[in-house]
Amino acid sequence: MAAKKNSTSTQKSSTKKPSTTKASTKKPAPAKSAAGPTVPAWHVAPDKTKAWKKLTALSKTGNLMTGKSMDLRKAFAKDKSRGTKFAVEALGIHLDYSKNLIDGATMDALFALATECGVAKHMKAMFAGDAINVTENRAVLHTALRAPKNAVIKVDGKNIVPDVHEVLARMEKFANAVRSGAWRGHTGKRIRTVVNIGIGGSDLGPVMAYEALKDFTERSIDCRYVSNIDGEDFYEKTRDLDPEETLFVVSSKTFTTIETMTNAQTARAWSLKKLKDPAAVAKHFVAVSTNAAEVAKFGIDTANMFGFWDWVGGRYSMDSAIGLSTMVAVGPDNFREMLAGFHDMDEHFRTAPARKNLPYLLALIGIWNRDFLGCETVAVLPYCQYLHRLSAYFQQLEMESNGKRVQLDGSPCRWQTSPVIWGEPGTNGQHAFYQMIHQGTSPVPCDLIAFAQPLHAVGSEAAGEHHDILLANIFAQGEALAFGKTPAEVRAEGTPEWLVPHRTFTGNRPTNTMLIEKLSPRMLGRIIALYEHKVFVQGSIWRVNSFDQWGVELGKVLAKRIIPELSGAKPAKTAHDSSTNALIAKYRALRGR
Ligand code: F6P
């Protein structure tokens, strides 16, 4: 967007008509000019649009927090086709958004908002490789990771697609070797456990995908994920492992992240304690990084390094080499299917009209809930045990991307940005926190996600099929949240008057329901890309940089300063505030230092 455009790239898909887009090549230096990057005139601030004013007016009459007039019971009674009118089907995903506090006028204004804010132009700029990550002066091209071989996407005048496929081919060779037993440990034993060491985007995607696709994994190879600097994580994940049969994948975009580097050093020492010979590192450690120099410094042969690029953000990298452990687990064919799923959704996002476009719809309803109805959190509730790490993954995707308080030009946002994302799989959540979702004082919009076909039809004659019971629950939750139970209905059940308020449900609590054909590697790719693009549309409207994460830096710097003060390597400073000083002193005393 702020990039100077000085070359052209063509992005082709093997199945769809090629789209020709202008590409940026030479990136503008972000901070060299005192004024910083220029935000294009088409990238209008949301509150400067006519649509924003219209939405503000609409929210006064339809506001869950302050108004009474938007009532889902009435809306459904008035329009018998509402349940199908506000629903869209694409790529095997049925999205029913009818149980939100919206009507035709709201949706019209939301689509107008996207148009006025230049979302389509911004999207084109992203797909074209413009340096839309303006604070880091980088292109944002995770979509290139799943582009077909014949696509042409240029960065600095160079087609990057062959590089992507070259790394994929190397990953494939490696994954096949580990899976078949051709890759052996230093002492000739087969690899039985792959331990991914990484954190944030170098962990959450791989773990989530490993859990989501468990049914597609090679069960004779176990994958484990060490992320936390807390030594208990490393201890628990390795305590029953044999170094002779264990392979570590050290995953870090920068290869400087303290958690990952510390865990990797500990893993090296753990391996060599038994294997003795430093040459064993070559057989038990591989690296995934953009930083070859640091990989070599660590002692991993760069022949055993799988690269990616600075135009892939950490939280958008599970389909890059960061997915190496996923590929070992599910095999190259399934991994490629997952990439094809991502690409399906990229094409849908790029080509489908906004009103039929899944990422647009999720994003716009999210903006309505966040900015106009005042909802501060969103619960992601998959009715699928395999997706039990999905909301943790979406937490980073959404909150690290859009948890920003300033606009692209550095001026403060005059509107709300990322909500808190949280959630657990249904039905477990129902027995824990749904009480608050049904009857609490803060509305929590929910994404209810379920698959029509189970991977395993478990059940018995006596108990019935589990899947029917599971799906009955997700449908019931949507119903209960939308329509509630009136005091009159509660009274009609013979409830004593004093108990009526406790047993009343207000309803009008917004939900999206996604009923998806069946969980598969391809479908997982589609779901993740759906949310990636939802985040893009929202960030675009909020006019924030969804692709940097400066907010994580300060804590890292301060921790580095404190480390030697805890270990006793340095005398405890008194340069901190009185609270931090006292905590450090207390810790040292408790540890006898
Ligand atoms: O600290 C935040 C972060 O930079 C994330 O954006 C990233 O996914 C994570 O740390 C891990 O970074 P790396 O892959 O460079 O180790």
Higher pLDDT pick, 362 / 37: 362
Q: What are the tens digits of pLDDT across the range 435-463?
A: 999 999 999 999 999 999 999 999 888 88
| Selection from 126, 123, 145, 124 nearest residue 341 by Cα | 145
Cα gap 405→397, rounded to integer Å: 17
In this structure, the residue with its CA closest to atom 5 of ligand 1 is 200
**Ligand 1 atom having least distance to the Cα of 552:** 1
Of 355, 369, 348, 477, the closest CA to residue 421 belongs to 369
Distance from the alpha carbon of residue 202 to the mean position of ligand 1, in angstroms: 7
Q: Is 314 in the pocket of ligand 1 (CB under 6 A)?
A: yes
Task: Grade residue 26 by pLDDT with cuts at 50, 70 and 90.
Answer: very low
User: What tokens does 56 get?
Assistant: 């503000």
Contact 161, 169 (CB under 8 A): no
Q: What is the pLDDT of residue 319?
A: 97
pLDDT at 520 over 70: yes
Q: pTM for the full model?
A: 0.94
- For 235, the enclosing helix (H) or strand (E) is helix 231-238
Using CA atoms, how far apart are residues 13 and 31, in angstroms rounded to an integer? 35
**Measuring from atom 6 of ligand 1, which residue has the nearest CA?**
314
The residues annotated with a catalytic role in the active site are 400, 431, 556
Question: Inter-axis angle of helices 104-116 and 521-542, to 10 degrees?
Answer: 70
| Ligand 1 pocket check for 257: Cβ under 6 Å | yes
| Ligand 1 neighbourhood includes 253 CB (under 6 angstroms) | yes
The protein residue whose alpha carbon is closest to atom 16 in ligand 1 is: 252
Q: pLDDT for 214-256, tens place per residue?
A: 999 999 999 999 999 999 999 999 999 999 999 999 999 999 9
- Look at residue 15 and tell me whether its pLDDT is greater than 60: no
Q: Is the CB of 525 under 6 A from ligand 1?
A: no
What per-residue confidence (pLDDT) applies to 464?
85
The average pLDDT across 6-20 equals 39
For residue 20, pLDDT over 60 is answered with: no
**Residue 253 Cα, ligand 1 centroid: separation in angstroms?**
7
**Atom number of ligand 1 nearest to Cα 400:** 6
Tens-digit pLDDT profile for residues 257-306: 999 999 999 999 999 999 999 999 999 999 999 999 999 999 898 999 99
**Dihedral of the CA atoms 263, 267, 268, 273 (nearest 10)?**
140
Q: Percent helix, strand and coil across the chain, each rounded to 5? A: 50, 15, 35
Q: Residue with the nearest Cα to atom 2 of ligand 1? A: 552
Q: What is the pLDDT of residues 387-406, one digit of tens each?
A: 999 999 999 999 999 999 99
Kindly report, residue by residue over 31-68, the tens digit of the pLDDT: 446 778 889 999 999 999 999 999 999 988 754 444 45
Per-chain mean pLDDT for the chain: 92
pLDDT of residue 522: 98
Tokens for 347, please give them. Answer: 């094409």
Q: Which atom belonging to ligand 1 lies closest to the Cα atom of 317?
A: 8
Nearest 5 degrees, angle CA 253-CA 227-CA 311?
Answer: 20
pLDDT digits (tens, 9 = 90+) for 178-198: 999 999 999 999 999 999 999
With residue 325 as reference, give the H or E element that holds it: helix 324-330
